[in-house]
Amino acid sequence: MDMQNIEKISLIDKDKLSEEFYFASLIEEAFHNHLLLGTEIETLQLKCLELLAEKTERFTDGESSSVPVEVAENIYKSNLYTIGLYLKSLSCPDDAVTILKQVPLSELYVRGRKQIETKLKIAKHLHIVVMKNIIETDQYAYRSTVIGGIKGFFKLYNADFGAHEIHITVDYPLCNKIDQLVGIEFIIKYLESVYYENMFCNCFSSDFIHHLLCGYDLGYRDLVFNLFEQVLTCAIGCTLLRKTALDLTITAIQVEQIYTLFSDKSKEEVEIIILATSHTLMKDLALTSLSLQTYLETAMHTIASNIYHAIKIDKLNRVFVSPNYPEANSHIHFSFGEKMDNDKYRHLIEEIIQCRYLSDKIAMIKREIKSLADLEDLFLDAELTSEETKVVLKELEVVEIAALAKQHFYRETESIDLDGKVIAFRLCLNDYIHSLSQEKQSAIAKAISMMNNNVES
């Protein structure tokens, strides 16, 4: 028999004690279990009042004998939280009651206060560790809470008069919600959870995470949701499909396959399958940390529940999202380049004008022209015929044609004010584009739309 695993039998049921209001719930349970008498509780109340009076005097620096009730209540809650923190650290609630009877309340407060100091140091260290394994993402809620918010907590936390408060809003939600904990205990638990979530997400490339989140919503940077839950759900989906989870890619067809897999399953069956899949995933990703494994197992309840409910309303594609690649629709930044020396350009134009054969002209253009800016000028100055112009245009890439078309879009209404050479070139370019295949025309149109106003001439 392993003697270390034997727990002392306690009259007070630990599960009935509140994490948030530990001191008050301990006294209540102790009273119900006849470990504390009514008179003993009254004495404790008076001691609490004495402690409150002492702390209030410190709060006002002895300058005011009265304070608003809200202020007194806050200090009172802070005192009880601090004492509760120490009592919670004792192995058995019955022992805590015994200590409560034997040790003065002010001494218990001092012990609790020391624990807060230790916990503050732990929290600060945890924050440093979390900052080292932070997920590379632009999601505002994540960055502002994990970086700025927690720093704000350390600045604002007042262990003397508001030990139970956290002051910050902690907007970024966790996958595994933290219930009941307050004050420094909440912050430690929050940072631990973020650390595990980061540890898991760091198994994947930040690019894949970004594309997955774009699939969730293109404006995900401004949304408040848990990143880890999305990554974990996708990874579980990939594992269910017996494919690598590392690329975080599930297609619409694969979502259908997952749907088929779960469509006739009960909630319990879904949970069992998901839990088993999570073990495979942990094995695949070589996640050996026991704490992380426990965290992931807890998260599986949320994931399984999400899947079960999504199947019920036929919205599984909102749980298993397919990645989106917004950069595929990004803008083209095009430059016409530097113009050549004026004398050299003039000399080239004269030669082209004097040249009899088109092939020679093409050869000269290919040899001497190095930028689209020069080519654009050449079209206007070299006195090329319409056919010659079209032959030169044929030598250009789609994106170059698009850049020229962007600059020289032919509109009859505008042509009145333009130079004859410009109108001739625009007409020629317009004819050339229309003579191309439909596929090329749409490629040029797409390139033009992607250029917006980014063309530099």
Residues near another protein, by CB under 8 A: 23-24, 27-28, 31, 38, 41-42, 45-46, 48-49, 52-53, 56-57, 60, 63-70, 72-73, 76, 80
Rounded to 10 degrees, what is the CA torsion of 13, 19, 21, 26? 20
Q: Considering the complex, what minimum distance in angstroms separates the CB of residue 51 from another protein?
A: 11
Q: Considering the complex, what minimum distance in angstroms separates the CB of residue 163 from another protein?
A: 16
Q: Considering the complex, what minimum distance in angstroms separates the CB of residue 13 from another protein?
A: 17
Residue type, 316: L
Q: Distance between CA 102 and CA 99 in Å, rounded?
A: 5
Neighbouring residues of 350: CB distance < 8 A, sequence distance ≥ 6: none
Q: Distance between CA 192 and CA 180 in Å, rounded?
A: 16
Q: Based on C-alpha coordinates, what's the Rg of the chain?
A: 36
Shorter beta-carbon distance to another protein: residue 103 or 445: 103
Tokens representing 176 are 């595994």
Q: Considering the complex, what minimum distance in angstroms separates the CB of residue 35 from another protein?
A: 13
Rounded to 10 degrees, what is the CA torsion of 33, 34, 36, 42? 100
Q: Distance between CA 286 and CA 293 in Å, rounded?
A: 11
Q: Considering the complex, what minimum distance in angstroms separates the CB of residue 50 from another protein?
A: 9
Residue 68 CB burial class (10 angstroms; 0-12, 13-18, ≥19): exposed
Q: Distance between CA 256 and CA 310 in Å, rounded?
A: 12
Q: Considering the complex, what minimum distance in angstroms separates the CB of residue 109 from another protein?
A: 15
Closest CA to 401 of 353, 364, 442, 366: 442
Q: Considering the complex, what minimum distance in angstroms separates the CB of residue 56 from another protein?
A: 6
Backbone dihedral region of 167: left (phi > 0), alpha (psi from -120 to 50 degrees) or beta? left
Shorter beta-carbon distance to another protein: residue 27 or 282: 27
Neighbouring residues of 391: CB distance < 8 A, sequence distance ≥ 6: 358, 362
Q: Considering the complex, what minimum distance in angstroms separates the CB of residue 45 from another protein?
A: 6
